[in-house]
Amino acid sequence: MNEPQGIAPRRASGFWSLPSSGVGKWSAWLLVVSLAMILLNNLVVMPNTEPQASLDLAQRACNLAVFLCVAFAGVTGLCAIPMKRERSWTVFVAVLLFIVVVAFNLAAPLDLP
């Protein structure tokens, strides 16, 4: 249990492995759910709701659900990297997807090119 002095604790996982910490696993599973929701939203929901103005609220609700899932995956990934020393590629992909989604959502109101 006690570690010798001068030895740094081991990382939770390597880059090419799956997450080993609980928070990293949550981030990875939320990433999988996020990607499935993005596909479902783009292939099923958007083509069926865009032609009908009455379904605009349904489309916004699906977009919000996808955004929240991506945000939770990214935030748990941001927590797993420094706190649990998680280095798995899935956690980094979740954080990268979160950064891209936030950038796209901030670019529209700020009128960035």
pLDDT digits (tens, 9 = 90+) for 27-36: 999 999 999 9
Q: 24, 84 in Cβ contact below 8 A?
A: yes
- Give 11-21 pLDDT, tens digit per residue: 556 888 999 99
Locate the domains of the chain by residue range.
22-110
Residue among 52, 51, 34 nearest 97 (CA): 34
Percent of the chain clearing pLDDT 70 (strictly above): 87
Arithmetic mean of pLDDT, 77-97: 95
pLDDT tier for residue 37 given thresholds of 50, 70 and 90 = very high
Q: What is the chain's mean pLDDT, rounded? A: 89
pLDDT tier for residue 4 given thresholds of 50, 70 and 90 = low
* pLDDT of res. 9: 58
Q: What is the DSSP letter of 12?
A: S
* pLDDT of res. 82: 94
The encoded tokens of residue 110 equal: 């700020």
The encoded tokens of residue 15 equal: 């880059």
* Residue 8 predicted with pLDDT over 80: no
* pLDDT of res. 103: 93
